[in-house]
Amino acid sequence: MSVDGWNTVLVLGGIRSGKSEFAESLVADAPMVRYVATAADAPADDAEWAARLATHRGRRPETWTTEETADDPRRLADVVAAARPNETLLVDDLGGWATVLLDPAHQPADDTATIAELAAAVRACPARLVLVSPEVGLSLVPTTPLGRAFTDALGAANRAIADACDAVVLVVAGQAVWLKPGAPQAGAAAARSTPAPPAAGTVEAPGTPGPAPDVFTPATEPAGDAETRGGTETSDGGDWAAPTMALPVVATGLVIQAGMELPMPDEYAGPQAIERLATLDVAGAGLGVLERAVGFAAATQGTATPAPWHPVRVLLLHGDHLGDAAAGTVPGESARRARDARSGRGALARLAAESGAELEVVRAPASAPMEAGPALTGEQVEAALRHGWRLAEEAADAGVRLLVLGACGAGTEAAAAAVLVATAGAEAPAVLGRVVTGSGEIDDAAWMRRCAAVRDALHRTRQSPRSAKDVLAELGGGDVAVATGVLLGATARRLPVMLDGPVGVAAAMVSRDLAGQARHWCLLADHGGHPAVRLGADVLGLTPLLDLRLDLGEGANALAALPLLRSVLTLAAALPTHPALDGDGDGGPAADEPDFSEPEPAGPGPASTGPASTEPDFREPQPASTEPDFREPQPAGPGPTTVGPETEPVDPSGRRAG
């Protein structure tokens, strides 16, 4: 679904305001949508109303399912209450529902109780729910009793449903104005919530919630085909996040297939950045193992001086795995985690707020019990891969510099373990972590059930192909499939991804068979002590940067390490070269520093031509040599042996020179 941060949304608008089109755009990216139609069929003599209904039906994709509730107004509350957490519902609209409610065929009835029943179902609905309703509060009071009854009933319904929903948006002339929670502005723009700073001199009480995380509302799909979106235009964030390729396009849309040629990181920038670190002016030995983070950032950004990652977006995948893969999991726990993340509560949301990261909760399709049959159908795998690819494209178009990938669904660890067993030849007990209950106790019985589920799934598929899509359909399920699409789409857009947890590592294992370049764009901050992450990282050649053994939940571990990694990149980019290695200086002492160097020996010429030095000479005098000279005397040559005032030259004949 395109809107994250809210589980239920009410879309209000007048006649021909564009409210239905806007509501449909909110669920355009959902893998499957249940369209709940509330209006009764058009009378045989009303061609105009029949044309309107036909227009609505024509806009629905073939993958959507339609459910009619016009026969009984109470049935809508039953449909909403029975929706499962992995479903997405679009109800269009409450005006048709109110019309059926007031139909004499359904009277007498307690309209107030029926509206309250629907509002209660909306408030408790675990699915993603979008409701459309006409706004009647701006019109004149109708002149007929039936018109007044309709506006009163619909007005009361709108108030009750708006109070039950997480978000309310009013569409006027095709423009969306968010009324609740109030921070988002336009439906096609990113919406963020920034709290006001506390007043000067105020001190927050202990336990007072801090700033809310930057919950991201992705834009609706832009107009144009996939080839246009995958062209060569650069995003606002810079050239290194520019798209590099387009997926093959057929009549059904984008095609993700094995053997795709995706870009690799810059092979020269990384080593150059590591070499540059050795020249920085630091007091100690340097950055240690965190040099690898600088090398990774340099290679993915294409520069020897990489910038700190900002902005960062966290993709939290929420999709449950049914069957014994989720043994030991508290029912509804994963849905609660997802709701907490959307509303700014929990460890992940708090860390996202502290690090200034955007947070997007992504709905993934639920996975059937893998021990009994395929987790997904082939069509669901294709849709999930394309959905993940588009999530990465949206992030790159928004200028995001780093994606953090995590998951919070039930049974994700067992599904990731099954993928690792199938792709790396591991044993299920070796890659499945212990099951810890909410009270901190070890549940060995649940762990054995998970191991048995993986074993039975591998036995069931022992004759099945082991291609990437087959592994996703049989074992991986919805969240691993969406994560695989995210990794492939991010690779195509030169966008690095920080993995955190078994789901991301399992997706990286699967992505190798679709595009081997994807693993080179992945970074692992900490293995968290999880055996599946350890094995997958070893196979992928990913060395964790840290060994903190954090276990805060997928996504939260990476965000805890993010400030440290940003600080390392800041130092690497800002520190100057050490003066001793600076090519612009002569390396000699400064003018005001004493010179303790040895004096140069005097040459053959005069020792000094200027005035004598007035500085004392503290050099030790060289003692005269006391050793005897045993050298043989040199015989005199044919010429004069001495020339001096006491001797006269003598020629060889013995006569004095005249």
Q: Give the 3-state secondary structure of residue 458.
A: helix
Split at pLDDT 50, 70, 90, the class of 284 is confident
How much is the pLDDT for 633?
55
Provide the 10 A C-beta neighbour count for residue 268.
12
In one letter, which amino acid is 359? L
Question: Considering only 277-286, 606-615, 628-637, which range has the smallest mean pLDDT?
Answer: 606-615
Q: Which two tokens stand for residue 547?
A: 């060994």
Q: Kindly provide the b/e burial profile for residues 444-473, where b requires at least 16 CB atoms within 10 angstroms of the residue's own CB.
A: eebbebbbebbbbbbebbeeeeeebbbbbb
Q: Are 216 and 183 in contact (CB under 8 A)?
A: no
> Which of 146-155, 401-410, 521-530 has the largest mean confidence?
401-410
Structure tokens at 538: 């070893």
Residue 496 confidence (pLDDT) above 80: yes
β-strand pairing of 253-254 with 249-250: antiparallel
The mean pLDDT value for 120-136 works out to 91
358-362, 585-589, 620-624, 633-637: which range is least confident on average? 585-589
Can you tell me the distance from the alpha carbon of 6 to that of 124, in angstroms, rounded to the nearest whole number? 13
Least confident piece of the model among 36-45, 92-101, 393-402, 542-551: 36-45
Model pLDDT, residue 28: 79
Residues 6+ apart with CB under 8 A from 474: 370, 374, 375, 457, 460, 461, 464
User: What is the predicted pLDDT for the residue at 555?
Assistant: 85
pLDDT in tens, 174-187: 898 888 874 443 33
Query: What CA–CA distance (Å, rounded) separates 356 from 559?
Result: 10
More confident residue, 292 or 198: 292
Cβ atoms < 10 Å from Cβ of 488:
26
Query: What would the mean pLDDT of 104-108 be, rounded to a whole number?
Result: 69
Residue appearing with tokens 């002339």: 173
pLDDT in tens, 382-407: 999 999 999 999 999 999 999 999 99
Bigger pLDDT: 584 vs 497: 497
Give the residue, 235 or 518, on which the prediction is more confident. 518
Among the ranges given (225-234, 366-375, 489-498, 610-619), the one the predictor scored with the smallest mean pLDDT: 225-234
532-588 tens-digit pLDDT: 898 888 999 998 888 888 888 888 889 999 999 999 898 888 888 878 876 554 444
Specify the DSSP class assigned to residue 475: I
Nearest to 407 by CA among 415, 419, 397: 415
Beta bridge partners of 8: 129
Higher pLDDT among residues 161 and 572, named by residue: 161
**Residue 413: pLDDT band by 50, 70, 90 thresholds?**
very high
pLDDT tier at 343, thresholds 50, 70, 90: confident
Return the DSSP state at 38: -
Please tell me what DSSP assigns to residue 367: B
In the numeric block, the tokens 């006001």 are attached to 196
Q: Identify residue 374 by its one-letter amino acid code.
A: P
Three-state SS annotation for 142-156: CCCHHHHHHHHHHHH
Cα 441 from Cα 437, distance rounded (Å):
5
Return d(Cα 409, Cα 415) in angstroms, integer. 10
pLDDT at res. 172: 92
Report the C-alpha dihedral over residues 89, 28, 490, 416, rounded to 10 degrees.
Answer: 20
pLDDT tens sequence across 426-441: 888 888 888 888 777 8
Most confident of 45-49, 107-111, 117-121, 275-279: 117-121
How large is the C-alpha radius of gyration of the chain?
Answer: 38
pLDDT higher than threshold 60 for residue 467: yes
What is the sign, positive or negative, of the torsion defined by CA atoms of 415, 321, 433, 430? negative
Q: Mind listing the pLDDT tens digit for each residue in 200-238? A: 333 344 444 455 555 554 433 333 333 333 333 333 333
Distance CA 357, CA 403 (A): 10
**Active-site residue, selected from the candidate residues 554, 598, 646, 648:** 554
Q: Angle, to 10 degrees, between the axis of helix 412-424 and the axis of helix 477-492?
A: 70
- Which DSSP symbol is given to 307? P
Residue closest to 102 by CA, chosen among 70, 133, 80: 70
Structure tokens at 324: 């014994």
Active site residue 291: no
Report how far residue 248's alpha carbon sits from residue 29's, in angstroms, rounded to the nearest whole number: 19
Please give the DSSP secondary-structure letter assigned to residue 13. Answer: E
Cα within 13 Å of Cα(349), Cβ side: 20
Mean pLDDT of the chain: 78
Lookup: tokens for 141: 């009071």
Between 128-132, 348-352, 506-510, 595-599, the lowest mean confidence (pLDDT) is in 595-599
**Three-state DSSP class for residue 186:** coil
266-281 average pLDDT score: 88
Most confident of 193-197, 320-324, 654-658: 320-324
Are 367 and 319 in contact by the 8 Å Cβ rule? The answer is: yes
- Name the pTM for this structure: 0.57
pLDDT at 62 (0 to 100): 75
Question: Which residue would you say has higher pLDDT here, 567 or 196?
Answer: 567
Is the confidence at residue 286, as pLDDT, over 70? yes
Distance CA 415, CA 321 (A): 8
Between strands 214-215 and 175-180, the pairing is unpaired
- Separation CA 187–CA 175 (nearest Å): 7
Query: Quick one: tokens of 328?
Result: 């030991």
Distance separating the N- and C-terminal Cα atoms of the chain: 126
- Residue 222 has what pLDDT? 32
Q: How many residues does the chain have?
A: 658
Q: What is residue 50's predicted lDDT score, i.e. its pLDDT? A: 72
Measured on CA atoms in the order 84, 85, 88, 89, is the torsion positive or negative? positive
More confident residue, 39 or 298: 298
* Cβ proximity of 273 and 305 under 8 Å: yes
Give the pLDDT score at 323.
93
